[in-house]
């Protein structure tokens, strides 16, 4: 595989096998696009003092071969769409999606969450990236029991109804005011994590308003099969996060009751080619439902750790290219 900017641009437009057809052109076998995410550089909150420079994140995303990146927490990258568009164009990048990672069960925090949603969606509309991912932040109570359904405290009916109402309101703002589609992201350590919670949310949230973002790593962390989720919810799956899990680290964390953030520090999320997720099966499941959105690579790391985000991004990009053989469609 050649490494020119033109070839890397083609790679970012779809998952490619590292071989050529008779016309000496790369074989494209998937209809969805791959993207990077600022969280792979340890960026989860816009104002965290340990964040790297946003210019470094964009530079290394492009260097690794990606041609798209998530917006990340609004305020991390420039919020002036003209300036951000120019910075992205200078690196042959585009924005794949935006989102929020906030305590949706906290009524006092909700006005600020609404404002953040508006700021994000206004920027997404201007950048032509009409996808908004909604994630309930990790609470102290649920973070302690991440991955352990039987031990997890559940929301009472009133609190659950309030959570559904807030998600619905945010999705209406995104769609009705900005033309941006909303997707719910079940997340380990949040109040929407386990199979029963996902099923209940998908039943109660309007299908025409709220889609589903399947995160392969968080699914496994929570005891679920990401391929099964893709098949079960089919056309409602409108966004994907690609992440893998070190099975031995996860088993140890579950056994000793490690909280979510400590599990991340212990390396529970592995490189894509070195974990329990079968990405060939994920690829084929996405093909079977006709998926054509983005697959955003998230290599969650401890910002204080020794991992090299650039090396991780390069490795994950090469791996996704290597497995993109012609999908099977008879599964």
Residue 232: phi and psi, rounded to 5, are -65, -40
Tokens 């099966």 belong to residue: 281
Res 324: pLDDT: 74
Res 32: pLDDT: 81
Q: Is residue 328 part of a domain?
A: no
Number of domain units in the chain: 1
Q: Rounded to an integer, what distance in angstroms lies between the CA atom of residue 234 and that of residue 116?
A: 29
Q: Is residue 261 part of a domain?
A: yes
3-state secondary structure at position 240 = strand
Res 304: pLDDT: 60
Report residues of the chain scoring pLDDT below 70. 1-31, 302-306, 325-331
Q: Rounded to an integer, what distance in angstroms lies between the CA atom of residue 210 and that of residue 237?
A: 10
Give the residue numbers spanning the domain of 304: 5-322
Q: Is residue 297 part of a domain?
A: yes
Q: Rounded to an integer, what distance in angstroms lies between the CA atom of residue 133 and that of residue 97?
A: 7
Q: Is residue 180 part of a domain?
A: yes
Question: CATH number for the domain including 92?
Answer: 3.20.20.150
Q: Is residue 92 part of a domain?
A: yes
Residue 54: phi and psi, rounded to 5, are -65, -30
Res 9: pLDDT: 34
CB 77 within 8 A of CB 127: no
Nearest-5° Cα angle at 10, 7 to 12 = 115
Q: Is residue 99 part of a domain?
A: yes
Q: Is residue 147 part of a domain?
A: yes
Q: Is residue 166 part of a domain?
A: yes
Give the number of other Cβ atoms within 10 Å of residue 112's Cβ. 11
Res 153: pLDDT: 97
pTM for the full predicted model: 0.88
């Amino acid at each position: 595989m050649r490494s020119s900017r033109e070839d890397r641009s083609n790679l970012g437009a779809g998952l490619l096998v590292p071989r050529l057809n008779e016309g000496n052109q790369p074989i494209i076998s998937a209809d969805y696009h791959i993207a990077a995410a600022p969280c792979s550089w340890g960026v989860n909150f816009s104002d965290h003092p340990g964040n790297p420079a946003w210019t470094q994140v964009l530079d290394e995303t492009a260097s690794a071969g990606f041609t798209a990146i998530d917006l990340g927490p609004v305020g991390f990258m420039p919020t002036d769409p003209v300036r951000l568009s120019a910075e992205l164009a200078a690196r042959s990048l585009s924005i794949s999606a935006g989102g929020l990672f906030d305590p949706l069960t906290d009524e006092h925090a909700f006005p600020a969450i609404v404002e953040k949603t508006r700021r994000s969606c206004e920027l997404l509309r201007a950048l032509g990236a009409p996808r908004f991912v909604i994630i309930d932040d990790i609470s102290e109570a649920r973070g302690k029991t991440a991955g352990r359904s039987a031990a997890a405290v559940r929301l009472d009916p009133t609190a659950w109804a309030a959570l559904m109402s807030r998600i619905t309101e945010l999705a209406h703002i995104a769609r009705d005011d900005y033309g941006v589609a909303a997707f719910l992201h079940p997340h380990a350590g949040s109040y929407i994590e386990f199979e029963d919670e996902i099923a209940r949310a998908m039943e109660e949230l309007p299908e025409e308003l709220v889609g589903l973002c399947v995160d392969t790593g968080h699914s496994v962390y929570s005891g679920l099969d990401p391929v099964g989720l893709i098949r079960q919810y089919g056309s409602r799956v409108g966004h994907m996060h690609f992440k893998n899990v070190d099975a031995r680290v996860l088993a140890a964390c579950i056994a000793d009751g490690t909280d979510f953030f400590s599990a991340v520090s212990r390396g529970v999320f592995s490189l894509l080619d070195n974990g329990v997720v079968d990405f060939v099966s994920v690829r084929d499941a996405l093909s079977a439902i006709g998926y054509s959105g983005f697959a955003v690579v998230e290599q969650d790391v401890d910002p204080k750790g020794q991992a090299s985000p650039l090396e991780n991004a390069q490795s994950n990009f090469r791996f996704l290219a290597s497995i993109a053989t012609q999908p099977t469609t008879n599964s």
